[in-house]
Amino acid sequence: MTDSLDQWLSAQLDIRKAQHRYRTRWLNSFPSSATPSSNVGSAVDFSGNDYLGLSKAPQVCEALAEGAKRYGASATASPLVGGYFDVHQRLEALISEWTQRPAALLFPTGFQANLGVLDALTHPASHCFHDRLNHASLLDGTRLSGAKSERYRHLDMIHLDKRMTAVSARQSEPQKVVISDAVFSMEGDIAPLQELADIAQQHAAWLVIDDAHGVGVLGKDGGGACVEAALSHKEVPVVIGTLSKALGGQGAFVAGSQALIDTLIQLARPYVFSTGLAPAQACAAEAAIHLCRDEPERRHQLHEVIHYFRAAAEAESLPLLPSRTPIQAIVTGDETRTLAIAESLKAQQLYVGAIRPPTVPIGKSRLRITLNATHTRQQIDRLVDHLAKALQEH
Ligand SMILES: *Cc1c(COP(=O)(O)O)cnc(C)c1O
């Protein structure tokens, strides 16, 4: 029996090695002290999603430690069985105010939130329209429910409208659901939220927006892409955000009407059947959101870093994808070239993401550079300099 498993496993690994898509974990040796992650000796991290540097902010780390002292290390059970604490309640209220929605619900991770929302809201008779570059967890959510799904061309509202019209023409019209990342995680560009809301309304479709990379970064007080676009919960009825990117912690939320939240408590299986978000993590997120609101300088500094990076990269004619967010990508093409460039940067102690299929389409492997408020001009100059050299050499 184990022989056949071993054979199957090694065949799987061989396939990925032959495709240059074999993934290895790198040992992250940045110290876990309160030193900003991007600034340790000469090593500079351009791969994490800690856009405001909050994962190492003393106020956030202290809130986590205090939370652990008070509540222990775990929620110990599903929120329905006994894992719902006052800090969860406070954090949900804070998030609903911050994102300008009537209510919010916490999940242990963003991946679970997306699975839970889409499995709960769709069923085999629904018809889902995904942006082609949506996050894997959104696609998996509609796969799980058995809903019909199709993918429209990235950001292409004409294509989306055309496809929705075709589906509407059917005799028994299904419930349509439009699903999109707000900020695309491997590109850094932003969905046309107002147009999405208009098209969804015209077709009586529900709109689900995953704002994992917008919260903390965009909009008033960092309330996210929907706040920036001034779209209410009537226009975007379902917003998902993570506590694990700009907020520097772990966990996620769904925000929308009270009826949406009450329904998810009934139907979202990753909520019902999983241990709740650790209360200490909720304490950390609470502190992080307060910092987002009370200390806007971090966000201003981040946007300055983004501006500086783009200007420096453009001066070197680096082929950046369009993006005004902390996610900056350079499409390098095939897997081998992408890995070679990332390796040569790593040799200079510059860490950038080497993103390959199936995360991105075949032939569109890329370097994913993430910026954060703690990066210095000197570090960015060094990155741009080595990027230019590496792109030329490989
Ligand atoms: C990271 C990410 C998620 C998953 O969030 P986790 O909290 O890391 O599980 C979901 N959607 C998008 C767009 C993401 O980038």
* Mean pLDDT of each 10-residue bin along the chain, 394 residues long: 88 92 80 49 89 97 98 95 93 98 98 98 97 97 97 98 92 91 98 98 97 98 98 98 98 98 97 97 98 97 98 97 97 94 94 92 95 96 97 94
Helices 110-121 and 258-267: crossing angle, nearest 10°? 90
3-state DSSP of 280-345: HHHHHHHHHHHHHHHCCHHHHHHHHHHHHHHHHHHHCCCCECCCCCCEEEEEEECHHHHHHHHHHH
Give residue 320's pLDDT: 97
Helices 279-294 and 58-71: crossing angle, nearest 10°? 150
Give residue 24's pLDDT: 85
Q: What is the CATH number of the domain that holds 384?
A: 3.90.1150.10
d(CA 223, CA 221): 5
d(CA 217, CA 323): 13
CB-based pocket (< 6 A), ligand 1: 109-111, 114, 135, 137, 181, 185, 210, 212-213, 242, 244, 252
Joined together, the tokens standing for residue 25 give 């974990």
The preferred substitution site among 154, 209, 218, 242 for testing ligand 1, maximizing ligand atoms within 8 Å of CB, is 242
pLDDT digits (tens, 9 = 90+) for 256-291: 999 999 999 999 999 999 999 999 999 999 999 999
Kindly state whether residue 66 falls inside one of the protein's structural domains.
no
Q: 180 and 131: one domain?
A: yes
Is the separation of the CB atoms in 12 and 22 below 8 Å?
no
Q: How far is the CA of 213 from the centre of ligand 1 (A)?
A: 8
Kindly state whether residue 18 falls inside one of the protein's structural domains.
no
- Give, using CA atoms, the residue closest to atom 6 of ligand 1: 110
Q: 183 and 136: one domain?
A: yes
Tell me the β-bridge partners of 255: 104, 239
Kindly state whether residue 178 falls inside one of the protein's structural domains.
yes
67 vs 140, 276, 279, 325, CA distance in Å? 33, 15, 7, 31
d(CA 50, CA 217): 11
Q: How many domains does the chain have?
A: 2
Domain that holds residue 186: 74-294
d(CA 222, CA 53): 14
Give residue 53's pLDDT: 96
Is the separation of the CB atoms in 327 and 213 below 8 Å?
yes
Is the separation of the CB atoms in 276 and 347 below 8 Å?
no
